[in-house]
């Protein structure tokens, strides 16, 4: 896989929220491909972030696609609001709804791309029947809720199995990604990397993004 097929989605969770507009501009200038927005409700995960009004306000200041990762209970009650706020892709946790197939279809019917996410403990069989319909599969490589956690290495064979399952579909990995882990997940078959603390703690966002995009085992 060549470097230009790897896409980087910086997670705003680790940015300076008091300067949200400037941070988005900086990662855009640094070569990000999309912007990862982590939506947490204090129920599905033990943390709270932001909702549709904040997404709508950053949409107005951002030309990159908004990659919106919903970590919320009863996502069916909120997807329309997130689409109207400007999400380009809405990714739902398979564990968060009784009828993932119905919700994926509904998001797509609203004119938005739809992705499905699996927690580290969720087997890939649970999304097999969705593989042909989703626009992206996201493998969580930490337990969702917080930035700055360590990559769970047991996710590598799972990423490979999901790549075999989904063909050319986008395969995103989220949690604990740095330039070393990036080489491992790319070798396993990932082509979209989320990174929060690695990028926002780096002295150069551009260098961090470049190192992630070009990370390979030699």
- DSSP annotation of 217 reads -
Report how many residues bind ligand DX5 under the rule CB under 6 A: 21
Angle at 194 between CA 189 and CA 198, to 5 degrees: 115
Which of 31, 51, 65, 145 contacts ligand DX5 by CB under 6 A? 145
Q: Is 120 in the site for ligand DX5 (CB under 6 A)?
A: no
Three-class DSSP category at 27: helix
| Residue from 89, 107, 111 nearest 99 by CA | 107
Q: Is 168 a catalytic residue?
A: no
Q: Do residues 104 and 138 lie in contact, with contact meaning Cβ atoms separated by under 8 Å? A: no
Q: Which of residues 19-48 bind ligand DX5 (CB under 6 A)?
A: 36, 38
Which listed option, ligand DX5, Zn ion, none, makes contact with residue 196 (CB within 5 to 8 Å by class)?
ligand DX5
Q: Is 75 in the site for ligand DX5 (CB under 6 A)?
A: no
Q: Which of residues 156-195 bind Zn ion (CB under 5 A)?
A: 174
User: Judging by DSSP bridges, how do beta strands 170-174 and 66-71 pair with one another?
Assistant: unpaired
Q: How far is the CB of 176 from ligand DX5 (least distance, A)?
A: 5
* β-pair partners for 118: 139
The residue of the chain with the least Cβ separation from Zn ion equals 69
Q: How far is the CB of 95 from ligand DX5 (least distance, A)?
A: 13
Pair of tokens at residue 2: 């060549």
Q: Is 144 in the site for ligand DX5 (CB under 6 A)?
A: yes
| Residue from 218, 125, 135, 141 nearest 181 by CA | 141
Which of 23, 38, 178, 184 contacts Zn ion by CB under 5 A? 38
Which listed option, ligand DX5, Zn ion, none, makes contact with residue 147 (CB within 5 to 8 Å by class)?
ligand DX5
Pair of tokens at residue 83: 């689409």
- Active-site positions read 38, 174
């Amino acid at each position: 896989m060549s470097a230009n097929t790897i896409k980087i989605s910086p997670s705003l969770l680790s940015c300076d929220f008091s300067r949200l507009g400037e941070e988005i501009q900086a990662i855009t200038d640094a070569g990000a491909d999309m912007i990862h927005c982590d939506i947490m409700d204090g129920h599905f995960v033990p943390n709270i972030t932001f909702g549709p009004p904040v997404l709508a306000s950053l949409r107005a200041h951002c030309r990159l696609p908004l990659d919106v990762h919903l970590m919320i209970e009863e996502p069916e009650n909120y997807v329309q609001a997130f689409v109207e706020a400007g999400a380009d892709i809405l990714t739902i946790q398979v564990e968060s709804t009784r009828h993932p197939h119905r919700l994926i279809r509904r998001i797509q019917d609203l004119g938005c791309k739809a992705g499905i996410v699996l927690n580290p403990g969720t087997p890939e069989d649970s999304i097999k029947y969705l593989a042909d319909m989703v626009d992206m599969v996201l493998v969580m490589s930490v337990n969702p809720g917080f930035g700055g956690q360590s990559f769970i290495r047991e996710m590598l064979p799972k990423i490979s199995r999901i790549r075999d399952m989904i063909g050319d579909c986008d395969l995103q990995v989220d949690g604990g990604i740095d330039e070393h882990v990036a080489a491992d997940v790319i070798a396993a078959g990932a082509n979209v990397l989320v990174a929060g603390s690695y990028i926002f703690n780096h002295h150069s966002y551009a260098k961090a993004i470049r190192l992630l995009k070009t990370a390979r085992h030699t």
